[in-house]
């Protein structure tokens, strides 16, 4: 056994650098230059590399220890060929150069500590002006000697929660550079399919054998259900959602609607609260153009739409569909009633064309006929807001002097907080509530 002690080399005058990570354990087979521990001073973090290939027989430090130049780190049982080479050179403390030549054909030669990148700080990593902050989710980075990266890059990867194994290194011998990490994070943020989570692990829900607990039946999910799931997941992961609630006093609207029912029958249609909701949403969108926008160029631009097309969520046996009604602001309540009925019927018969489900600026999802007094709808990206409507109910309402029975409609607005601030959302929802409470305004 040829034992060799690894000590802390010249670390640029850093006094009392702290051991923040042990990269190996006793018994590990290691290669020359493989990182053994990570030291962090107030200026930088650095890996202390193995000075020979072999087996770790003793670790002489623990996490939290403060080390300076010359401190003992580990004992290595030097691999035979390296020990032989050292013997041939007549030097018991084999130098880095002789070690490299002895194992050159099997181990990629690595830079010495001084060759490694200038330490990168979190502030330096800016993705298209979006600084990666301390709020960025951090996941444990697998310590592996097989990814070649400097300590600064490893530290940055740890802070960002990026597994270095997933980053393609463009440096010498596949070494991961700071630029590679930046490129990886930039791509992860922009990637339309992976969204911000690409490359960042989300804990997986384990498959469960439900049959162990009772009788089950397994049916394949429809294509539409799976597509909806992907869209919901994408929005959930990409969009910081805020949901705001309110109640609209629709007593007058309901009285008006009741009076239209006979005419609706003559016109061979039905008049539900939905056309009024669409009209109120369209007018509120016109008054609050920020809600009628979408992010462009990865968040660099805001695209303002001069048209008002609104999607209506339709519950069909095959799954959820969202046909889009065009130019809602320019249509009458009757026109909207016809169109909702026609599109809902075509959706249920699976006759909608793709174009009829495209181009929406905003979505209305009404569960009013089903029930419930509130829910938090998920934004239908790339739109920035969605209105969730629940079941209206007659409730006592205090008018300042007495309680009166009023029909109140619960409404919830979910919005993309990257675009819509609380004030914008509040003004928009208040406008809808006001329009529904005074239907005379709807015709203006």
- Which are the catalytic amino acids? 417
Per CB under 6 A, 233 contacts ligand CAO: no
Cα–chain center distance at 90: 58
Cβ proximity to ligand CAO, 280 vs 312, nearer residue: 312
Contact predicate 60/36, CB 8 Å: no
Per CB under 6 A, 328 contacts ligand CAO: no
Q: How far apart are CA 282 and CA 276, in angstroms?
A: 10
**Per CB under 6 A, which region of 140-148, 186-194, 282-290, 362-370 contacts ligand CAO?**
362-370
Residue 209's contacts (CB-CB under 8 Å, 6 or more residues apart) are none
Q: Which member of 55, 144, 272, 294 binds ligand CAO (CB under 6 A)? A: 272
Tokens describing residue 25: 């354990």
Contact predicate 124/179, CB 8 Å: no
Per CB under 6 A, 241 contacts ligand CAO: no
Per CB under 6 A, 98 contacts ligand CAO: no
Per CB under 6 A, 248 contacts ligand CAO: no
- Sign for the CA dihedral angle at 383, 133, 124, 234 comes to negative
Query: CB of 391: closest distance to ligand CAO in angstroms?
Result: 4
Q: Which member of 46, 177, 336, 340 binds ligand CAO (CB under 6 A)? A: 340
Q: How far apart are CA 46 and CA 118, in angstroms?
A: 10
Query: CB of 366: closest distance to ligand CAO in angstroms?
Result: 5
Per CB under 6 A, 71 contacts ligand CAO: no
Q: How far apart are CA 57 and CA 331, in angstroms?
A: 80
Cβ proximity to ligand CAO, 49 vs 319, nearer residue: 319
Q: How far apart are CA 388 and CA 366, in angstroms?
A: 6
Residue 216's contacts (CB-CB under 8 Å, 6 or more residues apart) are 210
Q: Which member of 76, 313, 432, 435 binds ligand CAO (CB under 6 A)? A: 313
Cβ proximity to ligand CAO, 26 vs 393, nearer residue: 393
Chain residue whose CB lies nearest ligand CAO: 368
Per CB under 6 A, 108 contacts ligand CAO: no
Q: Which member of 39, 73, 176, 314 binds ligand CAO (CB under 6 A)? A: 314
Query: CB of 199: closest distance to ligand CAO in angstroms?
Result: 29
Cβ proximity to ligand CAO, 273 vs 437, nearer residue: 273
To the nearest 10 degrees (0 to 180), the angle between helices 274-287 and 333-348 is 110
Total binding residues toward ligand CAO, as defined by CB under 6 A = 20
**Per CB under 6 A, which region of 24-32, 197-205, 271-279, 423-431 contacts ligand CAO?**
271-279
Per CB under 6 A, 352 contacts ligand CAO: no
Q: How far apart are CA 44 and CA 46, in angstroms?
A: 7
Residue 330's contacts (CB-CB under 8 Å, 6 or more residues apart) are none
Per CB under 6 A, 379 contacts ligand CAO: no
Per CB under 6 A, 433 contacts ligand CAO: no
Tokens describing residue 36: 């053994």
Q: How far apart are CA 6 and CA 19, in angstroms?
A: 15
Contact predicate 199/139, CB 8 Å: no
Q: Could you tell me how many residues make up the chain? A: 444
**Per CB under 6 A, which region of 82-90, 129-137, 267-275, 288-296 contacts ligand CAO?**
267-275
Rounded to the nearest 10 degrees, how much is the dihedral formed by the CA atoms of 379, 383, 384, 387? -50
Cα–Cα separations (whole angstroms), residue 439 to 134, 240, 275, 386, 389:
48, 33, 12, 21, 17
Q: How far apart are CA 159 and CA 185, in angstroms?
A: 12
Q: Which member of 112, 165, 369, 373 binds ligand CAO (CB under 6 A)? A: 369
Per CB under 6 A, 281 contacts ligand CAO: no
Q: Which member of 107, 367, 382, 397 binds ligand CAO (CB under 6 A)? A: 367
Q: Which member of 274, 361, 412, 419 binds ligand CAO (CB under 6 A)? A: 274
Q: Which member of 9, 368, 382, 426 binds ligand CAO (CB under 6 A)? A: 368
Q: How far apart are CA 134 and CA 137, in angstroms?
A: 8
Positions touching ligand CAO (CB under 6 A) are: 270, 272-274, 312-315, 320, 340, 344, 365-369, 389, 391-392, 409
């Amino acid at each position: 056994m040829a034992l060799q002690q690894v000590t802390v080399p010249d670390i640029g005058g850093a006094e009392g650098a702290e051991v923040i990570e042990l990269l190996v354990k006793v018994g590990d087979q290691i290669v020359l230059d493989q990182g053994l521990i990570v030291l962090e001073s107030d200026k930088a973090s650095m890996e202390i590399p193995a000075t020979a290939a072999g087996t770790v027989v003793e670790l002489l430090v623990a996490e939290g220890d403060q080390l300076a130049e010359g401190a003992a780190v580990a004992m290595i049982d030097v691999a035979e060929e390296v020990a032989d080479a050292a013997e041939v050179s007549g030097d018991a403390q084999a130098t880095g150069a002789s070690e490299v030549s002895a194992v050159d054909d099997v181990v990629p030669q690595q830079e010495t500590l001084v060759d490694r990148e200038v330490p990168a700080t979190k502030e330096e990593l800016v993705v298209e002006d979006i600084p990666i902050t301390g709020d960025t989710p951090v996941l444990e980075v697998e310590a592996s000697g097989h990814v070649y990266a400097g300590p600064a890059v490893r530290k940055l990867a740890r802070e960002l929660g990026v597994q270095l194994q997933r980053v393609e290194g463009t440096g010498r011998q596949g070494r991961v550079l700071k630029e590679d990490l930046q490129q990886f994070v930039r791509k992860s943020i922009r990637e339309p399919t992976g969204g911000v989570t690409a490359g960042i692990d989300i804990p997986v829900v384990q498959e469960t054998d439900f049959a162990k607990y009772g009788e089950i039946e397994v049916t394949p999910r429809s294509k539409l259900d799976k597509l909806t799931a992907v869209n919901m997941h994408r929005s959930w992961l990409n969009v910081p959602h805020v949901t705001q609630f309110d109640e609209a006093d629709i007593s007058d609207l309901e009285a008006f609607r009741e009076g239209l029912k006979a005419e609706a029958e003559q016109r061979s249609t039905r008049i539900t609260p939905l056309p009024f909701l669409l009209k109120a949403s369209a007018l509120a969108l016109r008054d609050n153009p920020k809600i009628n926008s979408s992010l462009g160029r990865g968040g660099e631009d805001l695209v303002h739409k001069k048209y008002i097309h609104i999607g209506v969520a339709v519950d069909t046996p095959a799954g959820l569909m969202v046909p889009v009604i065009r130019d809602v602001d320019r249509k009458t309540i009757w026109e909207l009633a016809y169109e909702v009925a026609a599109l809902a019927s075509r959706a249920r018969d699976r006759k909608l064309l793709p174009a009829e489900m495209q181009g929406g600026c905003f979505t209305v999802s009404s569960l009013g006929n089903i029930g419930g007094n509130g829910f938090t709808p998920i934004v239908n990206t790339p739109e920035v807001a969605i209105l969730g409507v629940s079941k209206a109910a007659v409730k006592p309402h205090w008018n300042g002097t007495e309680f009166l029975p009023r029909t109140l409609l619960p409404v919830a607005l979910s919005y993309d907080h990257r675009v819509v601030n609380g004030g914008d959302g509040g003004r928009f929802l208040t406008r809808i509530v006001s329009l529904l409470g005074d239907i005379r305004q709807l015709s203006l």
